[in-house]
Amino acid sequence: MQAQTLVQMKHVRKEFPGVTALSDMSFDIRAGEVHVLLGENGAGKSTLMKILSGVHKPTSGSIVIDGKEYKSLTPHDADRLGIRVIYQELSVIPTLSIRENLFVGRLPVKKRAFFHTVDYGKMQRRAEALLQRVGMHRDARTPVEDLSISEKQQVEIAKALAVDSRVIIMDEPTASLTHEEVRHLFAVIRALKAQGRGIVFISHKLPEILEIGDRVTVLKDGANVGTKQITDVTADDLVTMMVGRQIRKNYQNESAQNGFEQEEVLFEVKGLSRRDGKARAVSFRLHKGEILGFAGLVGAGRSELMNAVFGAAPKRSGKILLHGKEIRTKSPYQAIRNGLAMVTENRRETGFFHNFDIKQNISLLPFVKTARGGGTLGLIDRRFEKRCAEQQRKALRIKCASVNQPVTELSGGNQQKVILGRWLAAQSEILIFDEPTKGIDVGSKAEIYALMRELADSGKGVLVVSSELPELLAVCDTIAVYREGEIVRVFPHSAATEENIVLAATAGGTE
């Protein structure tokens, strides 16, 4: 017996000024299934879901729910019809507490004498129960701004569970989650399935798609190139469907090298400690041509180390040397001026200037580097700005109507490419990449790895922090394993395997 169809989207088309985001997209969601949406950055996945949740009006096409055909939905309709979304760009309100976020617009009230007041007791109890369901161990009164990205996401999921839902859309829910958090999310998803809800799951991570999905629809250039049962496809099939060509595999076998000890030392960190103790006497060397990766469990403190190197967190002691000369990095500003660049994680919060267009976001750093008088931008050379941005747009294949477009109009993955482009445009000596390919599609990932290799070959220093081991193994020549604020092991590429890295990162690595 075929499960009931909860939602059907028919021949949906969506045009934005200068871009056709969806050309002719049909798609349906059944009760009790996880329907995966897969496609390259800018393929139209988020747009399709925003049409279903009433954020965008389709140019043409329709949506059928409960036998009723709609030309478009308003956010209110979508809400009434039980369509919940956990957006790629999180929508929790930072200044409110967790429990207030959970019940925005639906605060439980109680009657006191002649007027209604918010029933905080009830709210707290219900919030606690919801947090427990998503596996979050926090007091519901905590302000959301104090939470990590993954915790904010858990709040979003709890919010979707707080009300009755027919369809729950998760747009890249696992992008910032740790391994355990993903396990927990999958358990929540399975429970929702068992209750007969339909789940739309968007992700660029193929292994998890194959694990959690029941059906998969591949989008390419705004159209459906196929809907399949997950059990009928392999990861390779999916990649070929979404990219329309084979991508380069076994990247590491072609490029990684061993034995950099003889090479010139490009960059060196000596005995670096953070004032708050989150990095303790860390030393490492980066040689010419070498890509050095940092592996470790999430929370091991790799980003904290890099923040200190980059001057974004106070150091207690330690030296940083570029080409054998000590440089000062008391602030990110000073670090940038002295030749460092850092592509940070958490880009949705701190990554770019939302009110700037693409070209301004990209060409910002060369100005910071060359500006006099403390970095006031002063006179900006418009032609330079444009040239700079066009160069990065080409190199990274940023999908946009023009570089004058606001970054907020780009797809998630393309926003990430703008951030990368900015740091590449800065022409820094040393580039620190912290989770550089979060939200980037499979094909573009391979291209970014190739780009990192080019940078290293051209004499730049490349440091990479990533929670995806396959990524580190694919790009790095040397992998340092980090645990609790210290480097515990260093593996040359030839000795690095997932098993011995995980072992070193967890326990057995101190010998």
Ligand X SMILES: Nc1ncnc2c1ncn2[C@@H]1O[C@H](COP(=O)(O)OP(=O)(O)OP(=O)(O)O)[C@@H](O)[C@H]1O
Does 45 engage in binding with ligand X (CB under 6 A)?
A: yes
Q: Where are the alpha helices (DSSP H) in 6-44?
A: none
CA 232 → CA 14, 229, 237, 284, 354, distances in Å? 30, 5, 9, 47, 42
Q: Nearest approach, Cβ of 334 to ligand X (angstroms)? A: 33
Q: Nearest approach, Cβ of 438 to Mg ion (angstroms)? A: 12
**From 25, 43, 140, 218, residue interacting with ligand X (rule: CB under 6 A):** 43
Q: Beta 68-70 vs 83-86: how paired, if at all? A: unpaired
Does 414 engage in binding with ligand X (CB under 6 A)?
A: yes
H or E, element range at 394:
helix 382-396
Indicate which of ligand X, Mg ion, none lies near residue 16 (CB less than 5 to 8 Å, by partner kind).
ligand X
Closest residue to ligand X using C-beta atoms: 413
Q: Nearest approach, Cβ of 158 to ligand X (angstroms)? A: 23
Q: Report, in this order, helix, strand and coil percent for the chain, each rounded to 5.
A: 40, 25, 35
Cβ 361 vs Cβ 353: under 8 Å? yes
- For ligand X, the closer of residues 47 and 150 by Cβ is 47
**From 410, 480, 488, 496, residue interacting with ligand X (rule: CB under 6 A):** 410
**From 21, 218, 425, 474, residue interacting with ligand X (rule: CB under 6 A):** 21
Closest residue to Mg ion using C-beta atoms: 46
Q: Nearest approach, Cβ of 84 to ligand X (angstroms)? A: 18
Q: How many residues bind to ligand X according to rule CB under 6 A?
A: 21
- For ligand X, the closer of residues 18 and 459 by Cβ is 18
Farthest CA pair distance, the chain: 82
Beta-carbon neighbour count of residue 353 at 10 Å? 11
- For ligand X, the closer of residues 182 and 223 by Cβ is 223
Does 44 engage in binding with ligand X (CB under 6 A)?
A: yes
Does 39 engage in binding with ligand X (CB under 6 A)?
A: yes
Indicate which of ligand X, Mg ion, none lies near residue 41 (CB less than 5 to 8 Å, by partner kind).
ligand X
Amino acid identity at 448: I
Cα 382–388–389 angle (5° rounding)? Answer: 90
**From 99, 159, 302, 399, residue interacting with ligand X (rule: CB under 6 A):** 399
What are the two backbone dihedrals, phi and then psi, of residue 156, each rounded to the nearest 5 degrees? -60, -40
- For ligand X, the closer of residues 399 and 483 by Cβ is 399
Does 412 engage in binding with ligand X (CB under 6 A)?
A: yes
Cβ 317 vs Cβ 504: under 8 Å? no
**From 12, 29, 33, 42, residue interacting with ligand X (rule: CB under 6 A):** 42
On the 0-12 / 13-18 / 19+ scale of CB atoms within 10 A, 113 is exposed
On the 0-12 / 13-18 / 19+ scale of CB atoms within 10 A, 316 is middle
Instruction: Give, as ranges, the residues between 87 and 106 that touch Mg ion (CB under 5 A).
Output: 88
Tokens of 45: 């996945």
Does 412 engage in binding with Mg ion (CB under 5 A)?
A: yes
What's the start-to-end Cα distance of the chain, in Å? Answer: 58
- For ligand X, the closer of residues 217 and 428 by Cβ is 217
Indicate which of Mg ion, ligand X, none lies near residue 410 (CB less than 5 to 8 Å, by partner kind).
ligand X
- What is the rounded CA–CA span in Å between residue 251 and residue 446? 8
Instruction: Give, as ranges, the residues between 35 and 64 that touch Mg ion (CB under 5 A).
Output: 46
CA 470 → CA 23, 238, 249, 268, 448, distances in Å? 35, 18, 12, 26, 14
Residue ranges binding ligand X (CB under 6 A): 16, 19, 21, 39, 41-47, 88, 399-400, 409-414, 441
Residue ranges binding Mg ion (CB under 5 A): 46, 88, 411-412
